[in-house]
A and B are shown apart, each in its own frame.
Chain A
């Protein structure tokens, strides 16, 4: 649910997770959600400036040294390596600075690191830290702290959700197993320089190695190898290095911050920052009343019009880095033939589904990536809705329409069971899919489950189609790695060309060299589809026009501009 290396939040998934329901039979076709219009123009990423700043509510005008933004459910684990909820990640992003951050295309950029060198064999990383960086208490942030942070992630009692083994640090496994008392691949050269040697070239390593840095003096005081239990006591009392420091956390209500005077990039101009706990359903009302300066909204046309009507809102829409998809169960014999899978894509009116749910605030996806990623390409088959083509492909694959109108082959009927979680998307998708597939001669049964139950069922292979969204994707490899036939969690998809391209795509760290490999990989995945790729969603947020200097993007939200924000008086 959260981005591992830099903890970028994913609002879509986390809100989907809250919506749980017991197993229930899905809507019948008579309840089909008919979209008002078809083929809506998809909305471009855009910024709409406030039309009348003077319309600001009085409460907001009076607030000159406090910036209030909405947050959903922070839980109080304010340590970037231990939280279990992406919203705590939003908080720790404010509290902790990382060695490496990412820019608006998801490319790594230095933050606490001045720069880094990667050896010719791409196995050794040398980070040069900026000079004079300190924690909130004035203690210097050094290479020892980086070494300490990486070490505890390898501890066998570490129960957070970061998987440091994917950085392949030399000697990491030995440390975890207790065979070594330090990690051989981590070498502190001087207080400003650290060298990390890895066993395997991996595009994920840089961001894993370059994460937030915990103070050794503070977090490591009571550390003994094999026992991290003590660290829980410090989750609510962080030692910060980021633009703001924690003032108070009021569970279920507010996280209050004050500007960090020691922030390496300069003390923020706005003295107080508050993340106010809100619910999506009433974010608009709170924003309208002036109780929020910044809020996230469900992106659709209606919300946009309401926000525009306020006059004082700067409205931004941008594309999420995740993608939504419907997983084929490749264990099933009928999905072995790629023509059948292609037929399912041609035969499903994805545009109609998205129009019904997002009113133009989502685009049909055809590859496992997002338009915001540097690896994206749209030079692929678009699979526009074409039931005739779908029928033809099914015929070619040997699935003939039987007496009851359902296709069959070798005595087996084409009966498909779909799993989804309770959401607006599936409310529209299920009836449309049912109708679409019926036309093709496919029987389609849908089941709505609670999210964890859905995952469990999918892992057992007890399904034909299952609908998901990926979490926030930083490196393009994160969206495709499970297609490798050697991936431990592989769902049965196997394509030797994909295997080779996947290997190639992460065997170099040079983005320019990786780009063409991804283009080729995406084309192959588009032709021999592992999933029905469904959508790339838009994210919508609005902020009060009295706030200046705020910039945001899909990867780091507005965190990068926190120390630049000002409030107009």
Chain B
């Protein structure tokens, strides 16, 4: 097992290097650069700025400068923010993580419970209603659902704030601050959960249905085990196994930011920052953020594979 992990970690290095080359060149070769954004610059001044930002150099040289710095742990200065890339990311990343994390936990809990229950009570009225409900929730566009929730919860009933992360001008600290944040995150978390719970519910329902029909379940029943034990001990465990792969994909999603939902609720997340970095061709920031997601994806995959081995002896590798 240890050997396997070491081998996988070593394999991550060329994977990430390859990803960095690909990402760097795709961005650098996209027409337009950071200086183009300002229409008012005279061509001379634009050229001076390109030299100052190092954009006049050949792309290959730019890549080696960048990767050289990264290997020394320096992701560079964001053009737009005039701050180290890591600082910019730090300001926004955890905000996105907060709502993504809470909504993920909610999504998984709801999905497992509802999925399993509707699999056991297949074709019952509960199953039909849940199917209808989760499909309805996931088919609404997020901006629509967001605006609708704002209208009812924030404007008509005044239960939750319209947007933001804290009350404007609030001087709260400590516990009070977190209560304030919790109030503000309710609606965005609700939207994110509604959007993602559908797929997962269906996924668990299908898995459960498949497992329940298998021989070992029948054997367990034949042994005279209680139905509860059969379902929750034998069937459920096996039905959850494939979900470990999904869990690995969750990792980058936790840090990716939800662009539209964050926008509607003025949530100070990383999604908009990433999108703007692309729009403005802020290469250092763009590379930093995209590489972060690449690393998380690779790490997420590794974790999933390792966990799979732990949970399921059948696929354990030597």
Contact = CB atoms under 8 A, between A and B. Distances in A.
Given A166-B42, A291-B161, A281 B263 contact: yes
Interface stretch (B12-20, B77-85, B127-135, B232-240): B77-85
A13 B280 CA distance: 13
B313 interface: no
Given A20-B275, A84-B80, A285 B39 contact: no
B92 A20 contact: no
Contact of A253 (B36, B42, B268): B268
Contact of B164 (A159, A253, A470): A253
B163 interface: yes
Contact of B32 (A13, A272, A274, A453): A453
B268 to A, nearest CB: 2
Interface in A271-299: 272, 274, 276-279, 281-282, 285-286, 288-289, 291
A82 interface: yes
Interface residues of B, number: 56
A456 B31 contact: yes
A107 interface: no
Interface string B165-178: 11011000000000
Given A17-B37, A252-B92, A291 B162 contact: yes
A466 B279 CA distance: 18
Contact of B266 (A82, A277, A454, A456): A277
A76 B264 contact: no
A499 interface: no
B193 to A, nearest CB: 20
B80 to A, nearest CB: 5
Interface centre among A76, A84, A254, A272 (most CB of B within 10 A): A84
A285 B44 CA distance: 45
B121 interface: no
A341 interface: no
A455 B32 contact: yes
A321 interface: no
Interface centre among B33, B41, B169 (most CB of A within 10 A): B169
Nearest to B49: A159
B36 A252 contact: no
Interface string B23-57: 00000001111001111111111000100110000
B260 to A, nearest CB: 10
Contact of A252 (B39, B82, B95, B168): B95
A451 B279 contact: yes
Given A1-B37, A68-B168, A289-B162, A489 B43 contact: yes
A254 B165 CA distance: 10
A185 B203 CA distance: 74
B31 A453 contact: yes
Interface string B273-287: 101101111000000
A256 interface: yes
A452 B40 CA distance: 14
Contacts of A2: 38, 40
B36 A452 contact: yes
A235 B78 CA distance: 14
Contacts of A279: 163, 263-264, 266
Given A161-B38, A252-B95, A279-B263, A452 B33 contact: yes
B38 A77 contact: no
Interface in A167-185: none
Contacts of A450: 30, 32, 279
B200 interface: no
Contact of B169 (A13, A274, A286): A274
B269 interface: yes
A20 B42 CA distance: 24
A286 B163 contact: yes
Contact of B31 (A253, A452, A471): A452
A4 interface: yes
Nearest to B150: A285
Interface in B64-112: 77, 79-83, 91-92, 95
B269 A252 contact: yes
A449 B30 CA distance: 11
Contacts, number: 164
B81 A286 contact: no
B209 to A, nearest CB: 39
A256 B150 CA distance: 25
Nearest to B158: A289
A163 interface: yes
A505 interface: no
Contact of B165 (A4, A76, A253): A253
Contacts of B45: 161, 163, 165
Contacts of B266: 277-279, 282, 286
Nearest to B36: A455
Contacts of A451: 32, 37, 279
B143 interface: yes
B291 interface: no
Interface in A329-376: none
Nearest to B81: A75
B208 to A, nearest CB: 39
Contacts of A250: 166, 268
A129 to B, nearest CB: 28
B162 A452 contact: no
A163 B268 CA distance: 33
A281 B262 CA distance: 12
A277 B263 CA distance: 11
A508 interface: no
Given A163-B45, A274-B169, A286-B163, A20 B278 contact: yes
Contact of B168 (A1, A18, A291): A291
Interface in B102-147: 143, 147
B59 interface: no
Nearest to A22: B30
A85 interface: yes
Given A279-B266, A285-B150, A452 B32 contact: yes
B154 A289 contact: yes
Contact of A488 (B43, B53, B79, B169): B43
B46 to A, nearest CB: 9
A453 B30 contact: yes
A169 to B, nearest CB: 15
Contacts of A385: none
Contact of B41 (A163, A286, A456): A163
A175 to B, nearest CB: 14
Contact of B162 (A75, A232, A286, A488): A286
Interface in A247-266: 250-254, 256
Contacts of B150: 282, 285
Nearest to B166: A253
B53 A159 contact: yes
B155 interface: yes
Contacts of A253: 164-166, 268
Interface centre among B44, B95, B158, B280 (most CB of A within 10 A): B280
Given A84-B79, A285-B155, A453-B32, 12 more contacts: A1-B40, A2-B38, A20-B279, A77-B81, A84-B280, A163-B40, A285-B163, A289-B162, A450-B30, A450-B279, A453-B30, A471-B39
Interface of B: 30-33, 36-45, 49, 52-53, 77, 79-83, 91-92, 95, 143, 147, 150-151, 154-155, 158, 161-166, 168-169, 263-269, 272-273, 275-276, 278-281
Query: 7 smallest A-B Cβ distances: which pairs?
Result: A252-B268, A452-B32, A456-B31, A456-B32, A251-B91, A453-B31, A163-B45
18 contacts: A1-B39, A18-B279, A76-B83, A84-B38, A84-B79, A251-B268, A252-B273, A272-B169, A274-B168, A276-B168, A277-B164, A278-B266, A279-B264, A281-B263, A282-B265, A285-B150, A285-B155, A456-B36
